[in-house]
Amino acid sequence: MHDPFISYEDKLISSVNVAVVGDVGKGKSSLLKTWACTRQLLLRGRRVVVLDKKLQAGRGEYTALAQYLGAPSIRFTVDGTGSRLNLLDPVIALGSEQIDDAGQTIDRTDRPTGQMMLLRAVLAEALARPVTEREGKALRLALVSATRDARERGRVPVIGDVVHHLLHPGTAEAQSLNRTVSELQDWGLDPAFGLERMIEEDLAGLVDDETSAEVNLDHPSGLTHFDISALPTEGPALRVVMALITTWQTNMLAARSERAEQTIDVIEEAWHVAEGSTGRILRRNAKLSRGLGLSTVAGFQHLVDLDADSPGRALLQEAETRFIYCQGSYADAAACVALYNLPPGTEETIMTLAQGTCLLQISSRDPILVRHERSPREIALTDTDSALTGMLWRV
């Protein structure tokens, strides 16, 4: 029996984050839905947040589980009919850049990601390149001005307000930099057009308005189900929304830290957000787990798909609870052995693991062979064959 929070308290591990690796159909999702989800909800005071990317019968794969628990599914879509999560939600701190003596920006990893870092990440996705120093400065001034103006009008700021201030900077902002309004406007043109395109096309109806009332962590069941299965895999929408959800939640937990709640973040198909600027945000949020009582449980298929220096690989390496399911490819099995310093010859074991069995490695200990047992009710809740068999969920 293993629980990351208890093992941390017993000083057996230093990180409560969890990695689940394996091919499709080998049992990862069953473990995530039971050990990381429903069984956690049986423990007093624990909450579970699921980012559900896997599509089943037109909905997220965890929909049946949410229905069984009586929890709503917070569904994000690109057609404007789903929920919204404001990129500039007041729950997320504005964020402040701190500069060291060499003039470089300090990455305060001891604080939750703020609105400014999120905007930079979204803009980098929109521009398909890093944000320049001048663009970053124009963006920050526009964010501060947009927030101030919205508060004076008694409403919450949205991205459209930032775009407006990028295109129409104020005289005071320009003078603070000893520049003309025209020069500051020039710095902000590409960011403005990039953000404008994102909120009118890729992210329309997702992050460009006030947060929907149903987006919260407070359902009596203890489960919050974010159904992101309708978001396209191609393009930035999925990565941005996943990064935004984890950031919003991290800031929410930081504000509630005095409650000492334990929260489990279950991220299905984490490889979707494991790269680039949004991947760095996901890793940064996971690093705050100790102070927030947060365990991030991330599911991955193939380690060889991740670059050696990618945020996704770092997230996998930092997790001290690792469930390794069957990997049919020798390269994938060898990548697991190398990443987790497993005993020589473990590659063959990983390649021959039966469905529902895995290797469990806790910290740097030798792995143990585990068979995942499920109750009849859990078997029904974890069924993923309805689309193929034509059978609806029965729980």
pLDDT of residue 260 exceeding 80, the answer is no
- Dump pLDDT digits (tens) for 266-317: 988 777 666 666 777 777 777 777 788 889 998 988 888 787 777 778 888 8
pLDDT, residue 368, reads 95
pLDDT of residue 392 exceeding 50, the answer is no
Residue bearing tokens 């009008």 = 153
pLDDT of residue 52 exceeding 70, the answer is yes
Residue bearing tokens 């020069």 = 183
pLDDT, residue 389, reads 47
pLDDT, residue 135, reads 95
pLDDT of residue 386 exceeding 70, the answer is no
Nearest partner of 160 among 205, 210, 196, judged by Cα: 196
What pairs with residue 298 in β-bridges? 19, 267
**Whole-number Å distance between alpha carbons of 347 and 343:** 9
Say what the pTM is. Answer: 0.87
Least confident of 213-227, 260-274, 345-359: 260-274
- Dump pLDDT digits (tens) for 307-354: 777 777 888 888 999 999 999 999 999 999 999 999 999 999 999 999
Mean of pLDDT over the chain: 86
How many CB atoms are located within 10 Å of the residue 183 CB?
14
Residues of the chain with pLDDT > 70: what percent? 91
Least confident of 291-295, 348-352, 379-383, 390-394: 390-394
Residue 222's pLDDT band, with cuts at 50, 70 and 90, is very high
pLDDT, residue 117, reads 86
10 Å CB burial of residue 380 (0-12, 13-18, 19+) is: middle
pLDDT of residue 203 exceeding 90, the answer is no
Q: Provide the CATH number for the domain formed by 4-80+213-389 in this structure.
A: 3.40.50.300
pLDDT of residue 393 exceeding 50, the answer is no
pLDDT of residue 187 exceeding 70, the answer is yes
pLDDT, residue 280, reads 77
Residues near 371 by beta carbon (within 8 Å), at least 6 away in sequence: 356, 357
